[in-house]
Amino acid sequence: VLLGVAVVVSVGVTLLLLWATHRSRQRSRGAAVGQVNGRALVWIAGGIVTPAVVLALTVHSYRVGASVYTPLDPAGDVLTVEVVGHQFWWEVRYPAYGVSSANELHIPAGRSVRVLLRAEDVIHSFWVPQLQGKLDMIPGHTTELWIEADEPGLFRGQCAEYCGMSHALMALWVIAHPQSEFEAWIARRSTPTAEPADPLVQRGRDVFFDAECHLCHATRAWPTPSAEGGTPGPDLTHVASRRSLAAGTLPNNRGSLAGWIADPQRLKPGVRMPPTHLPPEELRALLAYLESLE
């Protein structure tokens, strides 16, 4: 609507301008041109038409905005999730299930999802253009957004408020599942998993603690380091099942994992994770452990 009205107004103004130019040319050639009541034209165009158009567009825009931000089905079967913005990643929590994750928001398709937004450090902004408009995530203040995916699918989100050096590398995947698949996803994440049987993986878990990764990362072997006030780093309990690493920055494979652990700053400047240099044997074990976290 805005584009259509803008085109009509622009064409109208351009035609008037051409008409005025044409008249003044004719006059300078000495041809007789009829009189125009310029004052009346200014009053009508400037005093009536312009305010009327602007007012109509404002009313229209408010109505669209109100319908877009209105809860879809607040009384119905609503799923509430919490998304917390960190420099430069997303913490995702499902309070109803006691499940937490990072950088991926899994939702059931066709169901209203209430997203509670917070920020841990600076202002971020939650923006998944295919699902909803953007909304700021503010430290110390919870904002609320409603989304619903009509069909199962994959939707890319992006932090939309400049939040520091790697703001551009702060992406989010929203994955909409059919309801039964979503329940299976939640179930897989809420059941505790068995101790690793593979000796290499066991060794890797020890390296994870020796290298002090657990100070910032929760895993199934180690619950959330500081549940209140968010975690310093993403929950790694199921890191191997994620589509990407470091909030959409790297493909999730062994090579990027190894590069990330050795030098996160080079891959994501300003990132709040220190580099870790490990002997090859320890690194191999650590990678095997991380890859076992599905």
Which residues contact ligand HEC by CB under 6 A? 88-89, 102-103, 211-213, 215-217, 232-234, 236, 239, 242, 245-247, 257, 260-261, 268, 271-274, 276, 286, 290
- The Cβ-side half-sphere exposure at 203, using a 13 Å CA radius, reads 11
Contact indicator for 135, 125 with CB cutoff of 8 Å: yes
Contact indicator for 104, 176 with CB cutoff of 8 Å: no
| Residue closer to ligand HEC, measured from CB, 88 or 182 | 88
Binder of Cu ion out of 115, 159, 213, 293 (CB under 5 A):
159
| Residue closer to ligand HEC, measured from CB, 5 or 258 | 258
Asked if 163 interacts with Cu ion (CB under 5 A), we say yes
Cα–Cα distance for residue pair 104/49, rounded to 1 Å: 49
Residue in this structure with the two tokens 């584009």, named with its chain if needed: 3
CA dihedral 8, 9, 15, 16 (to 10 degrees): 150
| Residue closer to Cu ion, measured from CB, 108 or 248 | 248
127: nearest Cα among 138, 117, 115, 135: 135
Cα–Cα distance for residue pair 86/156, rounded to 1 Å: 18
| Residue closer to ligand HEC, measured from CB, 114 or 206 | 206
Of residues 94 through 153, those in contact with Cu ion by CB under 5 A are: 124
Binding partner of 167, given ligand HEC, Cu ion, none, CB within 5-8 angstroms per partner class:
Cu ion
Binder of Cu ion out of 86, 93, 118, 167 (CB under 5 A):
167
CB of 260 to Cu ion, least distance (A): 20
Residue numbers of the site for Cu ion (CB under 5 A)?
Answer: 124, 159, 163, 167, 170
